[in-house]
Structure 1
């Protein structure tokens, strides 16, 4: 009997232990999920910690949901759909996860109005609000590509003369980024249309993140930014005439795009509130553009996060049908800024995004905005200071990624010039973009057609983690311009590897 009671007690204790263990196993830890104003049910954007090895598929197998897209160029993470709210909180508590954001609703920031004549081009080439019925532009920015992340673009519109192309459609998930709304075509027309555009020969690439009603998932905009980071060519400008719902994710991606050498123009927002509350326009690295009506009166958002103002009321431009229409809002102001950035890059293709932004802000016309709003800079976009195209033979670029081994042999990337008679310039502009953990390891040389090496960067000194993203000036006047030019990059010391993400020469 005693022995039986002992066994029963052990069994009972074991049962208690099993029950307790099972209870612990089901009480999975949870963490907060960043809230969106207009959450698309079941959809989330997941940001992983730096160095995290967990794959999107592994995490969705563990917590549920279906992977929509993965990100690596502008942030480390992925987007997911069909994920229950509780599982999203559990996912947020995973040791490999930095943050989880509700996938909100990005919206175009424009209003439709009747069809008065456009005046925006007339405004930005002069220092007064009294229009002179002329638009004088310094160059046509034919060497620049404008990436329009929006509702798509009617690339066959006569305004684009065959210079527009499809990038990707993240609404329908295909390669046809046609516009079924009007907004993206209008924006693209203001940037690069032959008659309604600021930069009349810039190339346009449509990246669709908004649907036929002018809205779309924030994750589609995130995917669009990621696509440009991976596929974009420089010199390039990116226009975001939209406001994202999920705060923070777009900000980091804009920063990453700027770090990769792209100028990013962003609408400040239309709500008549502090622009620092609007993402990603609040990002300091962006060129954030506010909106004025004809005569200089401000509408829309304001504050210290606005860099400058540009025409945005009753702007006449292309639409998705092949015709024209007017629109108003910071959506219409931002492409004036993007077009101006393209003009600056047309004249100075080796300029960094910070240099472009500073040039436009520093040369903007002061004190023409009649009611700029608290803490706003009273600066109105002006392009009259920008010069003409200095290069005689254009730009040659190679944007294919080349891995740089740690403490290994030199690697290279080449471009070929075959239509530039005579000698190369004594001030050849060479743009280099290298991602690397410690720049002090790197030796970078330009090798001319003759085989002569021109050192751009020597190893040693204090390194940085961001890589090399800068322009160099080379006296290559003894070289024939025609021939194969090579960029050579070598990691001299141990512990860090990297990637040559692209480079260009302006002849």
Structure 2
């Protein structure tokens, strides 16, 4: 489906830029205390994410009782989450949110913050030249040691699996997808056409499953758009995208989140949504973050059962921006990665970041699931970890497991 099919204009990012990409909260997301709420906009309203408790006697978000509970305190429901989260996105004053948080049937009330892609470094370079060799990242992950051999050989192509890309959308008509990409839902414009006006999502999707640039060259791709053309959105939109995936996903499936918080403040609803998806049998691959700090401090990479991915460069060094520590599961190539661009159906772009490392692992997970369609997320993760090249990452960081992604026949 062509980007222009819906007739909306999309801004296209600079095609010659090499960037490190992370999703950042413009201000820390905080859980609202039950008493003494002191928040900006006390007299007005702002967005909150409300999670209801689960279990016997707890109301379901989709029920009239759950909605009535929230509205009883004056909150206005904007979105209902019934799969990834038992809860709502609401508008409320800080005082109303505080009273709501005090109710014993409420698990948490968290401010919904604006989030945005942060371009942390830009290097001007010539556009990549067309050539027969695969991108260096693919070349690296199919062999345990350097030097690179100029080829990429994968065990199968991931046929029969689906990779859900929760991002800025995907240019599904790009030739690198070969008709295997489609739209799921657009939670920015609230329509079924998840066009990409930013470019990040298209690049990520092709790295995971493009015909030339991807790891799993026969996997299907479903785009779920939660970020606008500027790479901005809200946590509520991200949760809506995850909720949609949990309702519609067909296993075997992988969910890629090349985004996360920039503040080292837990986002409990986001973490809970990832855990719910994993419990439902979906493999989650998550970018570790570009803050050069412990990965376990950031949501949703802090979720233990997700596959949290750090970035390496061509020399097998941990990228200087990449997060590190025991929260990392695998490292994968993330520096100067060539992949598809949203600029046209043939365009390419070179980007840098843990955003680029995570889809390498998403593609590898799809390859495994194609051969083991009934495997659990834990089994898929264990297989990728067991198959990784060990001791190859230079300067992996304190506490980091020294494991570099490897796909092998």
1:267 aligns with 2:284: no
Paired position in structure 1 for 2:114 = 105
Paired position in structure 2 for 1:292 = 312
Residue 96 of structure 2 aligns to a residue whose secondary structure is helix
1:131 aligns with 2:153: no
Residue 359 of structure 1 aligns to a residue whose secondary structure is helix
Relative to structure 1, is the Cα distance of residues 99 and 34 closer, same or farther in structure 2, using a 3 angstrom cutoff? Answer: farther
Native 8 Å contact 2:213 2:338 kept in 1: yes
Paired position in structure 1 for 2:52 = 48
Higher share in strand = 1
Residue of 53, 63, 72 corresponding to 2:82: 72
Question: How many residues were matched structurally?
Answer: 353
Unaligned runs of 5+ residues in structure 1 are 1-28, 386-507
Residue 46 of structure 2 aligns to a residue whose secondary structure is coil
> Structure 2 CA distance, aligned partners of 1:184 and 1:251?
21
Native 8 Å contact 1:236 1:262 kept in 2: yes
Residue 242 of structure 1 aligns to a residue whose secondary structure is coil
> Structure 1 CA distance, aligned partners of 2:36 and 2:145?
51
Unaligned runs of 5+ residues in structure 2 are 1-32, 130-134
TM-score calculated relative to the size of structure 1 = 0.66
| Aligned residues: CA RMSD | 2.2
Native 8 Å contact 2:38 2:94 kept in 1: no
> Structure 2 CA distance, aligned partners of 1:100 and 1:225?
18
Runs in 1 of length 4+ with deviation above 2 angstroms? 29-36, 51-57, 59-66, 104-118
Question: Relative contact order, CA 8 A, sep 6+: which one is greater?
Answer: 2
> Structure 2 CA distance, aligned partners of 1:48 and 1:32?
21
Structure-to-structure mapping, 1:345-494, within 5 angstroms: 345-385=369-409
Spell out, residue by residue over 1:75-125, the C-alpha distance to the aligned partner (whole angstroms, 9 max, x if none). Answer: 2111113x2111111111123211101112344476554445731000000
> Structure 2 CA distance, aligned partners of 1:193 and 1:206?
13
> Structure 2 CA distance, aligned partners of 1:66 and 1:95?
19
Relative to structure 1, is the Cα distance of residues 31 and 362 closer, same or farther in structure 2, using a 3 angstrom cutoff? Answer: farther
Is 60-69 or 164-173 further displaced after alignment? 60-69
> Structure 2 CA distance, aligned partners of 1:105 and 1:144?
32
1:283 aligns with 2:293: no
Relative to structure 1, is the Cα distance of residues 268 and 84 closer, same or farther in structure 2, using a 3 angstrom cutoff? Answer: same
Residue 146 of structure 1 aligns to a residue whose secondary structure is strand
> Structure 1 CA distance, aligned partners of 2:39 and 2:406?
39
How far has the Cα of 1:184 moved from its partner? 0.3
Spell out, residue by residue over 1:170-201, the C-alpha distance to the aligned partner (whole angstroms, 9 max, x if none). Answer: 11222111111000000000011110010001
> Structure 2 CA distance, aligned partners of 1:266 and 1:360?
14
